[in-house]
Amino acid sequence: MKINLAWVEDPRTRRASVSLTNLMISTLFLLVVGTLEVAGIIKETGLALEYFGISAALYFGRSLNFGGKSFEAKEEEKSLTTPKE
């Protein structure tokens, strides 16, 4: 069963991306909280900054390069079929 949700499309893979959607939500949240802090309505933005950092690490950590070696998350698609009786 495929459930269509409002995910942001990753420009590199042209597929819906949960981690990119999460990064966009955390960016908007950080902007709103930062604006409220500048306006003097709230005083603490630590949670929003932490959420943004975790979301950025999740999205940008998909492929890493260290010392010429490339580490990349591989997608494994598993078929969910029920055995026929």
Domain count, the chain: 1
In-domain check, residue 39: yes
Q: Which of 1-15, 41-55, 64-78 has the lowest mean pLDDT?
A: 64-78
- pTM attached to this predicted model: 0.69
| Structural domain contains residue 52 | yes
CA 54 vs CA 41, 47, 80: distances in Å: 25, 11, 31
Residue 13 domain flag: no
Is 14 inside a domain boundary? Answer: no
CA distance 41 to 38: 8
Is position 8 within any domain? Answer: no
For residue 33, what are the domain limits?
29-62
pLDDT at 8: 84
Paired residues of 69 in beta bridges: 66
